[in-house]
Amino acid sequence: MISAIKKEIFLRKDELENKTLSSLYFGGGTPSILSVDEIKSLIDEVLKYFDFEKNIEITLEANPDDLDKNFLKNLAKTEINRLSIGTQSFFEEDLKLMNRAHNASEAESSIKRAQDFGFENLSIDLIYGSPTSNFEIWKQNLQKTIELQVPHVSSYALTIEPKTALNAWIKKNKISKPEESTQNKEFYYLSDFLKDHGFIHYEISNFAKKDFESKHNSAYWKYKEYLGIGPSAHSYNGRNQRSWNVANNTKYIKNLAENTLPNETEILTEKDQYNEMLMIGLRTIWGVDLEKLKDKFSMEILEIFKKSIQPKLEEGILITEENHLKIPEKHWFLADGIASDLFIV
C-alpha cells in the first residue's frame, strides 16, 4: 500500500496548480496504524514534488489507543504538527455503543500524552445524541474538553446508518433511537458552551480557539483545489472537476502497479457547482460570497437564486452581511435542509 501511494503521488504530481502546500492531511480513519518511519517516508515522498509553506499544517488522524509513548516520542521528531484524535466520548457506555477500540481512560490519557510530547495543536471528535448518553453526560464531556485544554473540536450528531449493528439494535428495541429534539438541544448547548470558553464556531460541526481553525478543512469549505491520494480519496481542481479513487485496496494497488490511476472523474455542471457552493458555504461562519456567485454563474441561475432566497430572507433564516449570504447561527442545526431548498434540480 505504501508503494502504491508513492506511485500515485508521482503520477499525479502535476495536477495541483499551486506547488506550495499549506496543508497535508493523513486521514481516512486509521493512518495511526502506520509506523512513524512509514509516515515519515510518505512526507518525504511529497517533498520530492512539492514545497511546504513555512507554517504548513500537517495533520495525522489517530485513534487514542495508537498514541502510546513510543509512537508519540518518534512522531514528535517528524513534520507532523497537528493531531486529530478520534475520542468520540469520555464515557465508557458511549464508547461501547460506538464499538470503539479505546476505553474512557485512554480517551483522556492519549490527549495528555500527546501534549506531554509537544503536540499543542490538537483536535478531538465528540459525538452527541447517543442513546447511552444524556444531557448531563454531554455537559461533562464538554467540561472535560475544556479541562484538557483542547483547542479544536469537531462534533457530530450520532446517525444510524442502514446495515449497521446500531440499526439492528434499534429494530430489536435493545437501544432507543436518537431523538432529534435531544440532538438539537445538545447541539445548541455545545455551541454556547464552547463559545463561552473562547471557541469560534466557524463551521456547523467545528469549533476552534483563535488561530487553531483547521487549514485543511477550511480549504474544502472555501472551494480551493485539493489532491486526495489513496483508496477512496477525493480530489477537486477548484473549478469544475472532481475525482475519486476506488475504495477497494486490492484494485487500488493493482492499478498503480500497472501505472494506471485507480480513479473516476466527474465534470461538474453549472447546476452542480451552484448547489455545492450553497451547501458548503451556508455551513460556515463565512457564508456564500455573493460576488463570487455573481462572477461564476449565468444570469439564468442568478435569477433563480434571487427568487429562491427572498422568502427565506423575509423569514430571517437567511441574512446578508458584507456581501455574503449566511444562515444565522440559531438556525444552523437546520442548515442542510435550508441549503437544499435552494438547490436547482
pLDDT digit string, tens, across residues 108-163: 999 999 999 999 999 999 999 888 778 999 999 999 999 999 999 999 988 776 76
For residue 42, what is its C-alpha cell?
510518505
Q: Return the higher-pLDDT residue of 158 and 63.
A: 63
Spell out a b/e string for 89-104, using b for 16 or more CB atoms within 10 Å of the CB, else e: bbbeebbebbebebeb
- Residue 178 banded pLDDT, cuts 50, 70, 90: low
User: DSSP 3-state assignment of 252?
Assistant: helix
Question: Quick check: pTM over 0.85?
Answer: yes
* Whether pLDDT at 168 is above 70: no
Query: Are β-strands 263-267 and 288-289 bridged in parallel, bridged antiparallel, or unpaired?
Result: unpaired
Of 226, 225, 230, nearest in space to 45 by CA: 230
> Which residue carries 466557524 as its cell?
202
Dihedral of alpha carbons 165, 168, 174, 175, sign: positive
What's the average model confidence in pLDDT over 79-95?
91
| Amino acid present at 77 | K
> Which residue carries 435550508 as its cell?
338
Write the Ramachandran bin of 232: left for phi over 0, alpha for psi from -120 to 50, otherwise beta: left
Q: Return the higher-pLDDT residue of 162 and 51.
A: 51
- Kindly report the average pLDDT of the chain as a whole number: 92
Name residues whose C-beta falls within 8 Å of residue 321's C-beta, 6 or more positions apart in sequence: 287
- Residue 165 banded pLDDT, cuts 50, 70, 90: low
Give the lowest-confidence range in 172-181, 275-284, 313-322, 332-341.
Answer: 172-181
> Which residue carries 492519549 as its cell?
110
3-state helix, strand, coil in the chain (%, to 5): 45, 20, 35
The percentage of the chain sitting over the pLDDT mark of 70, rounded to a whole number, equals: 94
> Which residue carries 444565522 as its cell?
328
Contact call for residues 153 and 199 (beta carbons, < 8 A): yes
Look at residue 32 in the predicted model and tell me its pLDDT. 86
Segments in the chain forming alpha helices (H): 2-11, 36-49, 69-75, 92-97, 104-116, 135-147, 165-171, 180-196, 215-221, 249-257, 270-281, 290-296, 299-315, 335-341
Query: Distance between CA atoms of 16 and 328, rounded to whole angstroms?
Result: 35
pLDDT tens column, 205-248: 999 999 999 999 999 888 899 999 999 999 999 889 999 999 99
Dihedral of alpha carbons 16, 18, 19, 23, sign: negative
Query: Distance between CA atoms of 210 and 25, rounded to whole angstroms?
Result: 20
Of 220, 195, 187, 207, nearest in space to 123 by CA: 207
* Whether pLDDT at 164 is above 70: no
